[in-house]
Structures are given as structure tokens and as C-alpha cells.
């Protein structure tokens, strides 16, 4: 456990959940809290108990289901209502009864917000702050106060903004967090205001920066430079509108570039894993271009760089990717020269250095295929198959005669049934005589294995699932170890041509056999055909991994 | 045209094209240059003539095909080779002959890079800079010098880095651009170094910041604060690894928050359109969470905010989205309270303010459907259909009995054919007797329109395309205006459940009728069924827009 002198405070579960498209279940929130704790943050803001049933349930289940090694769980809530006592306010009671050792109270500090949004007097707002903080402190909870819209408020009426800081400190808040709620500040603004507030009040200050100007990370660091000792961030920068200061950019800057003791020993190298795992739970594709943890963050494409990197990788990287559990990658693309392909082949365990003619052929074929819609940057297994083919080694365990997949749905939808989904809307549904409608897919695959013709048919919950099952069914008699290989991911990308109609489809299929994972790519006008191309490669590559001799 | 005192210099076509996944044709580059000019940048770096055929062709075609109103075209290249004369260097000749009025020369300023990567002496590198700049100046071109790795170099050997600035100025460079090539700097580093270099050399300075620390925008602004008067950026921050300073974040900060005259009159409001159009050309989905221009940049979700926004939008926005051609949006999600739905309905032209019971029902149904995988945030037409259904007004122009789609491929692939694509690899292909293999999809739709049973069959280049054609074929006899409605976009998202196998699919279909565009959403285990649900809504909504009375 780190000492209390510097706080890394995560608000993914509260502010991060405000991001457009995010919808977390209680199980999701528990899983994310566990991951954040593994990363070593000091505080995890779990939500607003009492504000909605999900957050209330989260705090209840956290008591028994969540065991934290590094972090303290924090409940978020608001100051009491105007004109009442904190002790009598049901919203404050939910915070008191949440079981959280720490409460973060949001309070107003912008004169205009007090009058127009809260609709109370400036003095009553200050009383609400002091009273609520004091009440929770008397209940034995630690209290941080988030002063919403602080920087805008300070600009409009600095005296009032400062009096809100003093009101929080007077009630016993251990940190007063200055929030750039609308995200309009630039680092120079933050430096000026944090420096002034610190000099005027002497309070311990924190920073909460939204990213609307694209400066949330820099703003957070500027506040620390000016004396703030508590930073509020979210995993991958999730948050309302543009998002919040990205935890996984702020923390490495503080550790590596400011020499600050922000995480427990050994945690930094979990960063890439935790970032990607949280993206999985939140169900947002991990940002490939995110600093430090993105799959592209240490990926080199330019031919100029690739040749110099062979000399000394440190010349072209600001830091070592291994510190964060990430890796340097060489990219293969139509900009790639021979140096990139050679390094990539070496990464894949193939030595092509001596064969300049082969290298040239691979470069040409990669360029031509990328022109037609392929992308090998994410599909290492496909690139390896291509390299092996150009070496004269075809990785093909079966020959395909034909495949067919039928998808259908039967069962009339009546005029009054919903056009939106399979469930009928409202009360009408219960009495409806509409028969249950169900879509099914059925695939038939005909192929030859070692000269023998095989035919198999299978059903699936979608056309690609049905094809995958039929293909396995046709092959498993001969290749029993195929049972170890499974499809783990399926991605579809529509590539628009110059006009909308001649769109082609790129499919990426992720597979794994428990020991390793691989990705294959297929391209075609028809999404099912593109899927089949990626599927055939996935299975052939899997059989190669299982050690079968090629036919 | 702005005066020369401040430069907005765009390098999307050169440095931006280094982004992983980007692959621009010459036509793409011409289209992007036109868009950047519409946005009003002062300089457009088009590429490296002579380095590859594509960039050479770009500069050739630009002479006749590209008419620029605001920008000057700039060619990128390197200083001459060690030990030769600039006048005799073929790479320098390509710059001279590019026809570009301005050349940006990349040069080394980091002692270690000169010795290890360039493998020449420190003095020869300085001579290469001065000689090459002078040669191009004598040829009548303006020269900017990009000093690669400047900040790392200044840290390691400040005297040598300063001598590189002086060498460029001595040759006649009009701007010396300090590059944070590896992107490891924080704003305070930039402020310190730019201030020092300016004091030591008096040269006109520019800044080129990579985003590896997530601070490229702030670093660019810090350099301007310290006296730089030339900023190098890329559209949407595209660039190698994490990317470059985002043009569409740097420029609004300079204009709105620094009061700088960075763009010609009237250009700023083109920003959202230009950003999205460039993303289309580059074929990267526009970042929804990008500052100022993202579709989420001014989107409000929290119930707390939604109720206050009804009072005064300025309280919750750092700037006015209309300045950039963007809009405020209210999001409907399971966090939505009644206030959000009411505002959203008003946006859609429906007044629900007086019906609290209806509002509650809509909130409940939205929450339940989002729980099952729906997302209405991007699917306004689906939300409108839902609101109308809950008002008792079913928008359904036909009843579906069944549909079926068959996708198949025939034609044997031989053992030696490529497992990667439909084209056989290398020389073997030409002599191959493998018959042409082709995938086709055929759909049959059975439905009732106004009591009459219709059956139609159609082929398509994919299953959804076939279903769309069959559905239109069945309906067009009755609804001839359906010919005005077309599908414009199709997106598939795989939503993982807790285990990989029970994944469900969310499909978004974009449609348009020349007057307006709309998006519908479908969800299901089977991708074809999910597509059908979105398709049915798309067509029903289109028929409603065409003014047909509901059946």
C-alpha cells in the first residue's frame, strides 16, 4: 500500500459510465473494479448509491464479492438539498449506509450554477457543503469534495469559487477536487488557477479534467506541477462527451517523467492487459492508437524508421513498451520495404534475410492484396500463411468442392406486432396469437480430405457459425485435434468503394487453441464468402499448430 | 488569404498516411488536399516526390487537377547524402522538380541519430543542412526545415541541437520546425526548450508534436505560447504509432482560446464536415469522441445534466457546437430519465411533455431493449418508430410471412491454390485449370400487402443485399416511391456475452431518400435476422417519409 501523500483516484465506474454507448451491469462493474485494483489505483469510485438500483446493488454486492488489495471503494453523491439538514436527507443517508469508507461529494462552486441550476442562494450552497461534509465525517467516513465547474466559476467569480473551497475544508474534507467539468481549459489556465487557489486557501487540492479541448492529460499533469496531489481519471479516458483524463496516460507520465510514486511496485506492467480487459468488459473495441497501451502505440510502419530500428530501437521510441506490458511491432503494409517484411518474418520465426528475390515477391503480393481490401496488420496468421506459400509450402489440409448456407425465418408477423424487435410491444403482446418466430441457419460443406469426399451439414445461430460447425464436422474424423481449436472473435468491416454500391467486406476471425491465439482475414463482395476465406485459413492454421503433417 | 505571420501547416498526406491501417490512393490524396484547403490551412504537405511512384504522381497531377484557394502545396524530402553536393543529389532533384513552391526538408539534430542512423560526422550533417537549404532557395523555393528528434537531441547535447537550428537558418530556411518525433515530451518540456532555442538563435520556430504521451495538442499550444509561429498538425490526429497533433483540436484552441487569426474568415464552421469527409476518404470510422467534431463531443447523457440543460445549455458546454458545424445532442440510454426522452422526442418533432405515463413506458421499454443489445443512440429512426408505437401508431406497411436467403459457392479449390484469396498465387495461377469460383446469394421473401400475398426472389452480392432486393421487388408494385429510398450504410457489431459462444449481433442500417438520412437498428443471435429487423424498419420508415398512409 502506498502512503496517502498522492492519490490516484479512478472514476471509470461513475464518470466513465457516462460515455455514449456504455451500459454496465453490476457484474461488469465488479469485474472492472477488480481490474483497477490489480492496476493499483488508490481509490475506485463505484457509483452513486441510491440514485439507481444498479449502483445500490453494486455497493451491496461489493461488501461480500469484491476483495481489494490496493484500492479503497468510494461512493459518489451530492450535497444535501437546500433548506434541510444533512442528517435528514435520504440521498445523504444512502451515502452514509453504502458501507464505503470514502465518499466523494459533488458540490457547486460556480455562482451561475448555484443560482440557475440549483436555484438556491450563494450562502445556502456554502452551508450545504460544510453541513454535508461534517455530517459524513461524524459518521466516520472520509470525504473528498468535487467542486463542479470550478474553473469556469473561478473565472466568473473567483471570490465565490474560493469560498466553496473553504466551505469544504471547514467541514473536514480531506481533498478539494477542482473540476473542469465542461473541459474547456488549457494547461496554462490550470497552472494559473491551481497555483492561486493553493496560495489562497492552503487546502489539499485534486484535479478532475474532462477532455473537450483534447488536453485532459496535460491539464492533469499541469495541476500536479502546480501542487495538486490527487488526480481523478478513468480507464481508457471513458467519460461523457469527449471523455475524461485517461488513467493509462496520466499514470505513466507521473511515474516515468515526474518520478512520482503513483502505483504499487510491479503494477505498471499490468497496464496494457488491464486496459484491454476493461475495454472488453465495457464492450468497446480497444483504441488501437491509445498512448502506451494501444496495439499501434509502438508500431512502426515507415520504411525510413524500419531500417533505422534494425540499428537501435531506442532511437525511435520515447520509452520501453515492455514497461507497460506492450510490445514493439513492425507493420506490413504497402509502404513496407524489404526491411519491414524481413523483421516481420523474423518475428514469426521465419528467416528470409538471404532471399532477396522471395522478399521482393512477398512485398509485391502484400501490396496487391492490400489494394484489393486485405489488411495484414491485424492478421499475423494470414501473413504467415502468405509467407509460407511464397516459400512454396502450401498450408492446406483439405480441398473444398462447395459450400452452401441457408438462413430463414418463418412465422407471420401481424400488423399490430412491433416493427422493432421479435418481442411484441406493451400489453398487446400477452394476448397475441402470433406464433414464435425464429431464424435458423443451416450449412452444407462438401470437401476432399486425402482424396476422400466428405459431406457434412450443421445448424448454427448464424450463417458463419453454421459453416464453422459443418466444416468441423466434415474434418473431425480425420483431424481429431481440431476439437482444441475454437473461434473466439468475428469482426466485419464494410469497405466502401467510391460509390456506396460496390462495397466490399473484410472479415477478421480470431481463433485459439488454449496455447496461442491467431487472427485471419478474408475479403470479398459477399460477406459469407469473405467469412469463409478467413475461416478456411483459421482452420488450416489451427491444424498446422496442432502438428499435423501437410497433405 | 492570411498574412505570413502564423502558419497552420498540415501533414496529413505525408505523416498522417503513416498511420496503421491507412492506405491512400493518389485520388484519395487529391480529395483530402481539396478538403484541407476548404478548411483553410496555409500549407499542405503532399508527400515525398521521388520516394515512391504514388507521391511522384500526386505532385504531377496536382499541377493540373488541384486548384487551391488558401493553401500552398509543400513537398517533403531529406537533406542531401553525406559527401555529395545538393545539386548532384537525385533525391534533392525530385524536390526541385516537384513544382511545389515550398519544400520541407527533414534533417537530423540529435547527435546520436547523426552518428548511429545517418552514420556521418556531426559537422558533415550541419553542412548537409545548410547546403541543401541554400540549393533549393537558389532554385526559388521556400524552405522549412523539420529537425527530427529535436527535443531528445537537445536534452542529450543542447549545443549540437542549437547548431542544427543555426545551420538551417544560415542556409535560408524561413522556419525551423522543432520535432518531438518520438512523442515523449510533456508541455513543460516544450515550454522550456522552445523558450531557450528562441533566445539562443532568434530563428523563426515551428512545432511538430507526436502524441505518444497523449499531450500533442497541449504541446503544440505550449510551443505557440513560448513563441513558435508555425504548427504542424494532421487531420483527426492521424499519424504513425499514436498519431500527430490533431489539426481539429489545435486550431479551435488557437482561435477561440488564444484569439489568434489562424484560419480565413468562415472556415471554422466547415470543421466537422471536413473532419468527417476526410475520415470517409481515409476509410477510418470517424472518432465519435473527438473534441469539437465528434458526434459525441456535445452529447449529453447524464440525467443530472439533461434536466439542467433545459434551463441553460451554456452552463454545460465549454463552447458553442455550431461554431464548428457540430450540434448538441441528447442521448437516450438506460441512464435516461424522463427529461432526456422528452427533449429527444421534441428533437424528433413529437411533443410528449403532457403524457407522463407514456414517457415512463418509453423509458422502461428503451431500458429493456438496451439490456438485450439494442442501442438507440445512433438509431434515431428506430427510436421514432418506438415512440410512435408507444403512442399507439404502428408504422408497418406490410406483414411478413417468411424469408429465406441461400448463399453458396461452387467450384473445387485444388491443393495448390492459395488458401488466402480467390486468386491463385504467383506463376502457378496462370496455368491453373481451377474453374472460376463465385459466391452468390439468393433471397426469397413472402409477405402480405393490404391483404394480398406477394412472393419475390432476388439475387445479391451478399445475403443482406439479396434480401433488400427481394423485399423491394415484393413491395414496389404497391409502393412505387420506394425507388427513392436506398440503403447507404451497413454496420455489424458483435456483442460478446460473458462466454464467446452466446454472442449476439447488432446491425445498423443507414438509409436515405435524397432529402434526408436515417438509421435503424436490429439485434439478434443470427446476423441475418438482426439485419432483417433493421431492414424492415428502414423500409417502413422510408415509406412513412414518402407520405404513404399507414395500413
Residue pLDDT, tens place only, B406-430? 999 987 666 667 888 765 444 333 3
Provide the phi-psi class of A227: left if phi over 0, else alpha when psi is between -120 and 50, else beta: left
For residue B181, the chain A residues in CB contact (below 8 A) are 316
Between chains, do A400 and B418 touch, taking CB under 8 Å as contact? Answer: no
Pairing mode, if any, of strands A399-410 and A438-449?
Answer: antiparallel
CA distance A265 to A261: 9
- A460-471 average pLDDT score: 93
For residue A518, the chain B residues in CB contact (below 8 A) are none
Between chains, do B441 and A528 touch, taking CB under 8 Å as contact? Answer: yes
Between chains, do A488 and B505 touch, taking CB under 8 Å as contact? Answer: no
For residue A533, the chain B residues in CB contact (below 8 A) are 420-422
CA distance A494 to B327: 27
How much of chain B, in percent, has pLDDT values that exceed 90? 60
Measured in angstroms, the CA of A92 and the nearest CA of chain B are apart by: 17
Measured in angstroms, the CA of A54 and the nearest CA of chain B are apart by: 10
CA-nearest residue to B23 within chain A is A334
Between chains, do B217 and A214 touch, taking CB under 8 Å as contact? Answer: yes
DSSP state of B381: H
Between chains, do B525 and A400 touch, taking CB under 8 Å as contact? Answer: no
CA distance A304 to A314: 15
Between chains, do B20 and A288 touch, taking CB under 8 Å as contact? Answer: yes
Between chains, do A528 and B400 touch, taking CB under 8 Å as contact? Answer: no
In terms of Cα–Cα distance, which of B52, B181, B210, B241 is closest to A377?
B241
- Contact assessment for residue B133 and residue B145, using Cβ atoms and an 8 Å cutoff: yes
Q: How many CB pairs under 8 A join A and B?
A: 397
In terms of Cα–Cα distance, which of A259, A255, A181, A261 is closest to A219?
A181
At a CB cut-off of 8 Å and minimum separation 6, what does A314 contact? A320
- B238-244 average pLDDT score: 95
**What are residue A214's phi and psi, to 5 degrees?**
75, 20
Confidence of residue A536 (pLDDT cuts 50, 70, 90): very high
Between chains, do B253 and A213 touch, taking CB under 8 Å as contact? Answer: yes
- A184-188 average pLDDT score: 97
The minimal CB distance from B242 to the residues A187, A296, A410 is found for A296
pTM beyond 0.95, yes or no: no
| pLDDT at A295 > cutoff 50 | yes
| pLDDT at B337 > cutoff 80 | no
| pLDDT at B541 > cutoff 70 | yes
Task: Please tell me the number of Cα atoms within 13 Å of A407 on its side-chain side.
Answer: 29
Residue B414 corresponds to which cell in the numbers above? Answer: 485444388
Residue A433 corresponds to which cell in the numbers above? Answer: 396469437
Per-residue model confidence as pLDDT tens digits over B45-90: 999 998 878 899 999 999 999 999 999 999 999 999 999 999 999 9
Indicate the range of A213-227, B254-268, B375-389, B501-515 predicted with least confidence. B501-515
Confidence of residue A496 (pLDDT cuts 50, 70, 90): low
| pLDDT at A122 > cutoff 50 | yes
| pLDDT at A75 > cutoff 50 | yes
| pLDDT at B39 > cutoff 60 | yes
Give pLDDT, residue A516: 83
Confidence of residue B30 (pLDDT cuts 50, 70, 90): very high
Between chains, do A318 and B182 touch, taking CB under 8 Å as contact? Answer: yes
Give pLDDT, residue A426: 43
- A505-518 average pLDDT score: 85
Give pLDDT, residue B51: 83
Give pLDDT, residue A71: 97
At a CB cut-off of 8 Å and minimum separation 6, what does A486 contact? A511, A512, A513, B500
For residue A371, the chain B residues in CB contact (below 8 A) are 23
Give pLDDT, residue B166: 98
Measured in angstroms, the CA of B290 and the nearest CA of chain A are apart by: 6
Give pLDDT, residue B343: 72
Average pLDDT, whole number, for chain A?
Answer: 88
Give pLDDT, residue A362: 86
At a CB cut-off of 8 Å and minimum separation 6, what does B286 contact? B236, B275, B276, B279, B280, B293, B294, B295
Give pLDDT, residue A544: 93
Give pLDDT, residue B410: 83
Per-residue model confidence as pLDDT tens digits over A85-94: 999 999 999 9
Measured in angstroms, the CA of B280 and the nearest CA of chain A are apart by: 9
Measured in angstroms, the CA of A3 and the nearest CA of chain B are apart by: 26
- B313-342 average pLDDT score: 75
Residue B413 corresponds to which cell in the numbers above? Answer: 479449390
Give pLDDT, residue B348: 72
CA distance A16 to B502: 26
Between chains, do A414 and B399 touch, taking CB under 8 Å as contact? Answer: yes
Confidence of residue B549 (pLDDT cuts 50, 70, 90): confident
Please report the DSSP string for B36-74 in residue order.
Answer: HHHHT-SEEEEE-BTTBHHHHHHHHHHHHH---SS-EEE
- CA A183 to chain centroid, in Å, comes to 21
* Best mean pLDDT range from A99-113, A285-299, B359-373, B383-397: A99-113
Please report the DSSP string for A25-83 in residue order.
Answer: -HHHHHHHHHHHHHHT-SEEEEE-BTTBHHHHHHHHHHHHH---SS-EEEEEEEPPPTT
Give pLDDT, residue B476: 92
In terms of Cα–Cα distance, which of A297, B198, B265 is closest to B207?
B198
Average pLDDT, whole number, for chain B?
Answer: 88
| pLDDT at B444 > cutoff 60 | yes
CA-nearest residue to A447 within chain B is B412
All structural domains of chain B, each given as residue ranges with its CATH number in brackets, are 7-282 (3.20.20.70), 299-371 (no CATH)
Per-residue model confidence as pLDDT tens digits over B459-477: 998 999 999 999 999 999 9
- A129-157 average pLDDT score: 97
Q: Which of B216, B218, B244, B366 to mutate to test the interface with A (most CBs of A within 10 A)?
A: B218
Q: Map residue A281 onto helix, strand or coil.
A: helix
Confidence of residue B236 (pLDDT cuts 50, 70, 90): very high
| pLDDT at A432 > cutoff 70 | no
CA distance A368 to A180: 49
Give pLDDT, residue A434: 45
| pLDDT at B228 > cutoff 60 | yes
Give pLDDT, residue B519: 85
| pLDDT at B501 > cutoff 60 | no
How much of chain A, in percent, has pLDDT values that exceed 70? 89
DSSP state of B81: P
- Grid look-up 540529435 returns B110
Give pLDDT, residue A453: 94
Confidence of residue A365 (pLDDT cuts 50, 70, 90): confident
| pLDDT at A500 > cutoff 50 | no
For residue A517, the chain B residues in CB contact (below 8 A) are none
For residue B184, the chain A residues in CB contact (below 8 A) are 257, 318-319
Per-residue model confidence as pLDDT tens digits over B246-255: 999 999 999 9
Amino acid at each position: 500500500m502506498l502512503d496517502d501523500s498522492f492519490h490516484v483516484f479512478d472514476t471509470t465506474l461513475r464518470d466513465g459510465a457516462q460515455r455514449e454507448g456504455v451500459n454496465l451491469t453490476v457484474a461488469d462493474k465488479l469485474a472492472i473494479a477488480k481490474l483497477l485494483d490489480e492496476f493499483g489505483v488508490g481509490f475506485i469510485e463505484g457509483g452513486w448509491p441510491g440514485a439507481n438500483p444498479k449502483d445500490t446493488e453494486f455497493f451491496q454486492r461489493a461488501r461480500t464479492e469484491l476483495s481489494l488489495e490496493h484500492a479503497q471503494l468510494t461512493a459518489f453523491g451530492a450535497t444535501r438539498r437546500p433548506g434541510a439538514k444533512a442528517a435528514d436527507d435520504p440521498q445523504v443517508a444512502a451515502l452514509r449506509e453504502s458501507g464505503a469508507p470514502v465518499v466523494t461529494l459533488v458540490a457547486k462552486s460556480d455562482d451561475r450554477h448555484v443560482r440557475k441550476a440549483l436555484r438556491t442562494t450563494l450562502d445556502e450552497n456554502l452551508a450545504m457543503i460544510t453541513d454535508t461534509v461534517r455530517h459524513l465525517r461524524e459518521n466516520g467516513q472520509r470525504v473528498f469534495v468535487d467542486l463542479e465547474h470550478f474553473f469556469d466559476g473561478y473565472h466568473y467569480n473567483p471570490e465565490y469559487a474560493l469560498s466553496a473551497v473553504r466551505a469544504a475544508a471547514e467541514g473536514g474534507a480531506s481533498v478539494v477536487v477542482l473540476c473542469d467539468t465542461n473541459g474547456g481549459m488549457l494547461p496554462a489556465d490550470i497552472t494559473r488557477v491551481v497555483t492561486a487557489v493553493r496560495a489562497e486557501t492552503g487546502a489539499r487540492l485534486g484535479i478532475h479534467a474532462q477532455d473537450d479541448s483534447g488536453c485532459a492529460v496535460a491539464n492533469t499533469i499541469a495541476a500536479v506541477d502546480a501542487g495538486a496531489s490527487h488526480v481523478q481519471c478513468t480507464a481508457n479516458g471513458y467519460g461523457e462527451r469527449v471523455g475524461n483524463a485517461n488513467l493509462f496516460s496520466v499514470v505513466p507520465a507521473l511515474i516515468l517523467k515526474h518520478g512520482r510514486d503513483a502505483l504499487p511496485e510491479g503494477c505498471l506492467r499490468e497496464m496494457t492487459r488491464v486496459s484491454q480487459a476493461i475495454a472488453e468488459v465495457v464492450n468497446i473495441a480497444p483504441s488501437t492508437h491509445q498512448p502506451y497501451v494501444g496495439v499501434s502505440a509502438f508500431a512502426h510502419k515507415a520504411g525510413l524508421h524500419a531500417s533505422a530500428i534494425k540499428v537501435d530501437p531506442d532511437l525511435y521510441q520515447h520509452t520501453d513498451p515492455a514497461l507497460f506490458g506492450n510490445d514493439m511491432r513492425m507493420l506490413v503494409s504497402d509502404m513496407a520495404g524489404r526491411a519491414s517484411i524481413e523483421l516481420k518474418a523474423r518475428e514469426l520465426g521465419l528467416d528470409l534475410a538471404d532471399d532477396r528475390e522471395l522478399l521482393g515477391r512477398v512485398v509485391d503480393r502484400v501490396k496487391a492484396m492490400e489494394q484489393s481490401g486485405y489488411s495484414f496488420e491485424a492478421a499475423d496468421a494470414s501473413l504467415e500463411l502468405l509467407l509460407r506459400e511464397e516459400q512454396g509450402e502450401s498450408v492446406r489440409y483439405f480441398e473444398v468442392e462447395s459450400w452452401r448456407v441457408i438462413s430463414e425465418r418463418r412465422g407471420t408477423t401481424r400488423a399490430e406486432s412491433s416493427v422493432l424487435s421479435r418481442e411484441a410491444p406493451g400489453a398487446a403482446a400477452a394476448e397475441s396469437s402470433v406464433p414464435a418466430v425464429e431464424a435458423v441457419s443451416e450449412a452444407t460443406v462438401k470437401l476432399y480430405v486425402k482424396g476422400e469426399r466428405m459431406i457434412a451439414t450443421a445448424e448454427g445461430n448464424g450463417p458463419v457459425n453454421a459453416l464453422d460447425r459443418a466444416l468441423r464436422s466434415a474434418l473431425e474424423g480425420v483431424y481429431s485435434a481440431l476439437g482444441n481449436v475454437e473461434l473466439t472473435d468475428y469482426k466485419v468491416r464494410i469497405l466502401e468503394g467510391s460509390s456506396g454500391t460496390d462495397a466490399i467486406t473484410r472479415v477478421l476471425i480470431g481463433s485459439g487453441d488454449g496455447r496461442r491465439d491467431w487472427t485471419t482475414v478474408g475479403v470479398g463482395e459477399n460477406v459469407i464468402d469473405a467469412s469463409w476465406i478467413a475461416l478456411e485459413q483459421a482452420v488450416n492454421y489451427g491444424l498446422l499448430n496442432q502438428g499435423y503433417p501437410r497433405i
